[in-house]
Structure 1
Amino acid sequence: MKSVRCISLELLLLLTVVAGALWIVMQVTRHQSSWNPSNIFNYGWLDDTNDDGGPELACDCFAVLQGNALETDKAKILTVTKEFRKRVQVQNFEHLLRAIYAPQNVYCVHVDTKSAASVRAAIEGIVSCFPNVFLVSQPVRVVYGSWSRVQADLNCMADLYNSTTTWKYFINLCGQDFPLKTNLEIVRMLKSLRGDNSMESEKMPGGKIWRVTNVFQVVDGEIKRTGKKKDPPPFNLPILSGKAYIVASRGYVHSVLNDLRIQKLIEWANDTYSPDEFLWATIQRLPGIPGSKWPSQKYDMTDINAIARLVKWQEQEGQQGSLDAVYPECQGNHVRSICVYGVGDLYWLLQHNHLFANKFDMDSDPVAVFCLEKYLRLKALAMIH
């Protein structure tokens, strides 16, 4: 791999590296601007620079984003052609960082310690180009479903909280996320929360109770049951269900790092299964936590209503018009029952109020990222002018 130099942000995607995960903090700033949403389509798609151009330029992103079935089918066919697969050599991390970067934000990047040395070196090179982007001080080896996923979050939370920037909101991302909103839109939506947090937090389904009633440990790089039962949670706390990805206020993060009740909860949770899918949700309902909600079931929030992340779960997909389906069928493919979005999902994605969506993969459908990236860049221009 060639050595990484500081280059213009527009060219970051030329570096073919893969990141384990990316954690960021968005600092709320004030922007005065008025705009008409229809202005986004007043900009020609070729008015923007095409340094990242390739076979994907053949796609009519304007039509795809409006849900045009014919152009969407053309884009799907393009992504499976041999010539296209051979020429498109871009990766998720560079596109994500380019899409979310703003000088007033602070970015903590966590790279899984089991990543290849060449990957880490490439990411270090990129990070060194920006004064507000840094690698976490204590990276960990992440094992799917284990406590390590939460520990990576905690390490970045601590680094960010101790940074010199007095940021207001924390948003954690993984390398397969991508924004659905421009930075200005994200800032406005965070300000509208008025200090509240936004994350899934609801009663844990019966089918997941085993995750918190059994003791687990990592053996040979995999999480396994030990055969032991867990003691009840501290203070008889109700354990709630949620997701790994959150929008949390600075006060929430301060509590995570310092509240003695949360420290006891963390100690109890570190030998459970997939604690990232209940820890943040449970903390969100603790009395006295900044931006939290009351424990009453009436304050439950689903992932569809929380703005943190838009995800399609395979078991909740269905035909249009189905009374049981939460959303239409995935137009890409599935990994661990989660939709890896295809170009046919873009129209649906942009109808929602979420800040980010998961999952995207440049290897499976780069056109989906290409068109969404174009949309956001041009929308940002329309909001500025």
Structure 2
Amino acid sequence: IIHNDEKEIKKAENILKRLSLKDGYFERSLDSDFIIEKSQCENYKKARGYYRHQSVDADFPLGVSILAHESAEQLERLLRILYQPQNIYCISVDKKSHEDLHKSIKSIADCFDNVFIASETYDIIYMGFSRLKAEFQCLKDLLMLDKLINIEKHPNLIGKKVVDWKYAFNYVGTEFPLITNKDLVKILKMYNGSNEIQVIQDKFRYRYLRKFKEDFINHRILRTNELNPPPPNGYLLAKGYSSYVLSRKFAEYAIFHPKSLDLYNWLKNTLIPEEFYWSTLQLNNHVYSQHGFKPIFYLVKDSLVRYSGWYPKYECKGRMRHGMCVFGIRDLPHLIEKPHFLANKFMLNVDPIAYQCMEEWFDEKEAANSTLNFNFYCNFIKLRSNLANC
């Protein structure tokens, strides 16, 4: 399937046709099926292949945050693919998600000393500030591990270890990595303290000219007639993907600097603020310039941080959802050729075979010698950063 074998693709499509549907979707495993008893943790980790790794990148640990609101199975499968013993993982579960989802993810996290549930979780409303709030919290927790573990002794971090990570990534449960950890570390060393954040010209004034507010009773966003003041501190707004790759130093600026917090608080009354926050901080060199960003590239949409198939530019072979392709088996041969760090989106209840194929492809890629063109990444970084080390 991955290599575009039409015979195998048709065979897979016939299997999908025989699977039972409910309201147009395949049935998923129950979240309760993924509640792991503490006494079974070692068996669970062995059975699922968490011990397959050798810590070849132990000197370059990563901090990873993952947002989840449904499907314990897909979250667990994503964690297995991403897992490295030297990294640290923060998971934020939507507060309004089913109790079984919370229990299952908590039980999985309890099996590891480097996976934890965020110190505070939130009721996340689509397109609202609560999404940025949840991601902000996980990144803050990753920066404050020592305090949370050794001083505050937060219950979610009992038995967890302090990891002095170098770079931070964020994922949502529907995303999937396209680059292995060992290749990623080689690329991040080229970034040398700079970030990978999409930055595009501001053309989205409707999202912030008037104030928006979250309606937590009906779980929706409401637009008001009240005008927003201009952004603080002379920030020029930029938009980009909510996905980021941040150096630790830049993460500290984003989470703790008073001017960053001014912007964070200003975004509380805007629409889809997670697409403004990281990009705006990246663009505005007059506030922070140590990340080496060349601001001329704020007119360029290219970014390696994430690959998505957007309507109408992308001819989706799977299923369109909110204007974005949920990748199916016929999308995979095209997808695996992309140089991006991750892809969005996959859903087990739309195409479970596509997800399984990606897992098998990634496992094989992890075990093999790298075939990446590192010169491509070097040239890409040099065009956008003054810190490139290659």
Classify the TM-score, shorter chain: 0.7 to 0.9
Distance (Å, rounded) in 2 between the aligned partners of 1:86 and 1:116: 19
Which position in structure 2 is the counterpart of 1:73? 10
Question: Which of 321, 346, 350 is matched with 1:360 structurally?
Answer: 346
Distance (Å, rounded) in 1 between the aligned partners of 2:14 and 2:205: 43
Does residue 237 of structure 2 align to residue 239 of structure 1?
yes
Residue 168 of structure 1 deviates from its aligned partner by: 0.8
Does residue 313 of structure 2 align to residue 316 of structure 1?
yes
Number of equivalent positions: 305
Question: Which of 111, 114, 120 is matched with 1:132 structurally?
Answer: 114
Distance (Å, rounded) in 2 between the aligned partners of 1:76 and 1:289: 51
The alignment's TM-score, normalised by the length of structure 1, stands at 0.75
Check conservation: 2:236, 2:284, Cα contact below 8 A.
Answer: no
Which position in structure 2 is the counterpart of 1:340? 326
Check conservation: 1:204, 1:240, Cα contact below 8 A.
Answer: yes
Which position in structure 2 is the counterpart of 1:213? 209
**For residue 340 of structure 1, what is the amino acid of its counterpart?**
V
Residue 154 of structure 1 deviates from its aligned partner by: 0.9
Q: RCO higher in 1 or 2 (8 Å CA, sep ≥ 6)?
A: 1
**For residue 248 of structure 2, what is the amino acid of its counterpart?**
R
Deviations 1:87-130 (A, max 9, x none): 97483111101100010111000001001111101111100011
Residue 186 of structure 1 deviates from its aligned partner by: 1.8
Check conservation: 1:251, 1:289, Cα contact below 8 A.
Answer: no
**For residue 345 of structure 1, what is the amino acid of its counterpart?**
D
Distance (Å, rounded) in 1 between the aligned partners of 2:20 and 2:97: 29
Unaligned stretches of 5+ residues in structure 2: 31-72, 146-161, 371-390
**For residue 71 of structure 1, what is the amino acid of its counterpart?**
E
Check conservation: 1:293, 1:299, Cα contact below 8 A.
Answer: no
Which position in structure 2 is the counterpart of 1:248? 246
Which position in structure 2 is the counterpart of 1:103? 85
Check conservation: 2:167, 2:246, Cα contact below 8 A.
Answer: yes
Report sequence identity in percent. 30
**For residue 310 of structure 1, what is the amino acid of its counterpart?**
Y
The secondary structure found in structure 2 opposite 1:307 is coil
Distance (Å, rounded) in 2 between the aligned partners of 1:204 and 1:79: 42
Does residue 180 of structure 2 align to residue 182 of structure 1?
yes
Deviations 1:195-252 (A, max 9, x none): 21011101022xx211011100012321110111111111332111111111111111
Deviations 1:60-87 (A, max 9, x none): xxxx111223322322232121369989
Check conservation: 1:201, 1:240, Cα contact below 8 A.
Answer: yes
Which position in structure 2 is the counterpart of 1:50? none
Distance (Å, rounded) in 2 between the aligned partners of 1:276 and 1:171: 14
In the TM superposition, structure 1's runs of 4+ consecutive aligned residues that sit over 6 Å from their partners are 83-88
Which position in structure 2 is the counterpart of 1:46? none
Residue 192 of structure 1 deviates from its aligned partner by: 2.1
Does residue 376 of structure 2 align to residue 379 of structure 1?
no
The secondary structure found in structure 2 opposite 1:216 is strand
Distance (Å, rounded) in 1 between the aligned partners of 2:186 and 2:172: 22
Distance of aligned partners of 1:247 and 1:369 in 2 relative to their CA distance in 1, 3 Å threshold: same
Question: Which of 121, 143, 161 is matched with 2:143 structurally?
Answer: 161
Question: Which of 331, 335, 351 is matched with 1:349 structurally?
Answer: 335
Distance (Å, rounded) in 2 between the aligned partners of 1:378 and 1:171: 23
Which position in structure 1 is the counterpart of 2:356? 370
Distance (Å, rounded) in 2 between the aligned partners of 1:268 and 1:67: 48
Check conservation: 2:118, 2:137, Cα contact below 8 A.
Answer: yes
Check conservation: 1:286, 1:292, Cα contact below 8 A.
Answer: no
The alignment's TM-score, normalised by the length of structure 2, stands at 0.74
Which position in structure 2 is the counterpart of 1:122? 104
**For residue 293 of structure 1, what is the amino acid of its counterpart?**
F
Unaligned stretches of 5+ residues in structure 1: 1-63, 318-328
The secondary structure found in structure 1 opposite 2:84 is coil
Residue 309 of structure 1 deviates from its aligned partner by: 1.0
Distance (Å, rounded) in 2 between the aligned partners of 1:277 and 1:113: 21
The secondary structure found in structure 2 opposite 1:200 is coil
Distance of aligned partners of 1:76 and 1:192 in 2 relative to their CA distance in 1, 3 Å threshold: farther
Residue 278 of structure 1 deviates from its aligned partner by: 1.2
Distance of aligned partners of 1:290 and 1:112 in 2 relative to their CA distance in 1, 3 Å threshold: farther
Check conservation: 1:255, 1:289, Cα contact below 8 A.
Answer: no
Check conservation: 1:286, 1:294, Cα contact below 8 A.
Answer: no
The secondary structure found in structure 2 opposite 1:310 is coil
Distance of aligned partners of 1:299 and 1:87 in 2 relative to their CA distance in 1, 3 Å threshold: closer
**For residue 380 of structure 1, what is the amino acid of its counterpart?**
E
Check conservation: 1:312, 1:339, Cα contact below 8 A.
Answer: yes
Which position in structure 2 is the counterpart of 1:8? none
Distance (Å, rounded) in 2 between the aligned partners of 1:210 and 1:231: 14
Distance of aligned partners of 1:165 and 1:82 in 2 relative to their CA distance in 1, 3 Å threshold: closer
**For residue 115 of structure 2, what is the amino acid of its counterpart?**
V
Which position in structure 1 is the counterpart of 2:291? 291
CA RMSD between the two structures:
1.9
Check conservation: 1:178, 1:360, Cα contact below 8 A.
Answer: yes
**For residue 261 of structure 2, what is the amino acid of its counterpart?**
Q
